[in-house]
Amino acid sequence: MKYEKDKITVIIPVYNVENYLERCLKSILYNTYTNLEIICVNDGSTDNSKKILEDYSKRDKRVVVINKKNAGVSSARNAGIKIATGEYIAFVDSDDWIARDMILALYRLQKESTADVAGCCAEVVCDDHVPCRTCSDGNVRMYSFLEIVRNNFPNNSWSLWGKLYRSDLFDRVPRDLPSHLVMSEDIMLNTFLYKNCKRIALPDCRYYYYFRDGNSAISGELKPQMVRDCETAYSTMLSSIDSNDEIYGYMMGCKIQNDYFLINSMIRNQKCMDQFARLRHEILHNLKLIFDKKYAGIFSQKQRFGTLLLAVSPTLYKWSILFRRKVRGY
């Protein structure tokens, strides 16, 4: 099947990643799919990132550089989307890299499956370059938006990286989405993109290499802005869905899962504990939903037991999280 004439835009938000940027750029430039537009958005870097980008743009005409004041990753991605000219759009974080055949593989998958979005799993690489998480069998699974939310965004479907999107999907995204977020910004944008999709193809194949260090939003220290950003993202997502729609309950379940993530991070890090009582109240306010069999794809039996413990004794719940951290090391 000969589809390789379509232009694909790859958008890379860049901020102070001089140690990783060349690895990222080379992995894209050397991809087997060559009809690329590579938009690098320098979000006010203060290190050598700007010079590296300018050097690569002189070497390869496919590299386009935008320099802007620092405003965060969402703002940087949006700047890239505005000038993208490709029929498809992909995102790569500037400290990550991709397999040599990722773009071609996702492109062919999208064409052959008639999917609106095609994605892949990631090989998570830690500081010492040893993979710390893997995906499984390589089978392709097809989802609708409802099925994505019903299963709490499976197979990395929450992330913007590791995906190939039809560019026209972005034309239907509201222009007033919050652009200052540093956490949950990807799941928020994906929610609005997936709402306009009939088919989303998500294989378990690993084509994306996600570099995870101690400073990442997921593994690093919890900060008040992260808590606020999660609240903003999920309230924006929920407000866009009719409360009578079946999908609303599933999205609320995803929001509660995020509340669990936040309170567990608060306990492990002993940060933002002033928000613990409020999030606990929100979780317990939704007990009926949590224990409804309809939402079994979101809440496990183990988590439901933890909810009871959280309701009966917050102190014991905190102790259980700290004990688990001591045993498992995280």
Domain boundaries, given as residue ranges, for the chain: 8-211, 224-328
- What is the H or E stretch that residue 149 is in? helix 145-150
With beta carbons less than 8 A apart as the criterion, state whether 184 and 233 touch.
yes
Residue 219: per-residue pLDDT = 47
Cβ count within 10 A of residue 326: 9
Strands 121-125 vs 131-133: parallel, antiparallel or unpaired: antiparallel
pTM for this predicted structure: 0.90
Can you say how many angstroms the Cα of residue 111 is from the centroid of all Cα atoms in its chain? 23
Task: Determine the topology of domain 8-211 in CATH.
Answer: Spore Coat Polysaccharide Biosynthesis Protein SpsA; Chain A (3.90.550)
User: How deeply is 268 buried, as exposed, middle or buried, from its count of CB atoms within 10 A (0-12, 13-18, 19+)?
Assistant: middle
With beta carbons less than 8 A apart as the criterion, state whether 132 and 209 touch.
no
With beta carbons less than 8 A apart as the criterion, state whether 278 and 227 touch.
no
Residue 312: per-residue pLDDT = 96
CA–CA distance, 328 with 215 (Å, rounded to integer):
20
Average pLDDT of adjacent 10-residue blocks, the chain of 330 residues: 79 96 97 97 97 98 97 95 98 95 95 95 73 58 94 89 97 93 94 96 88 55 91 97 95 96 94 95 96 91 93 95 78
Residue 90: per-residue pLDDT = 98
Q: Determine phi and psi for 135, rounding to 5 degrees.
A: -105, -175
- What is the H or E stretch that residue 22 is in? helix 21-29
Residue 222: per-residue pLDDT = 87
Residue 326: per-residue pLDDT = 79
Find, among 194, 288, 286, the residue nearest to 237 by Cα.
Answer: 194
DSSP secondary structure letters along 233-288: HHHHHHHTS-TTSHHHHHHHHHHHHHHHHHHHHHHHHT-SGGGHHHHHHHHHTTHH
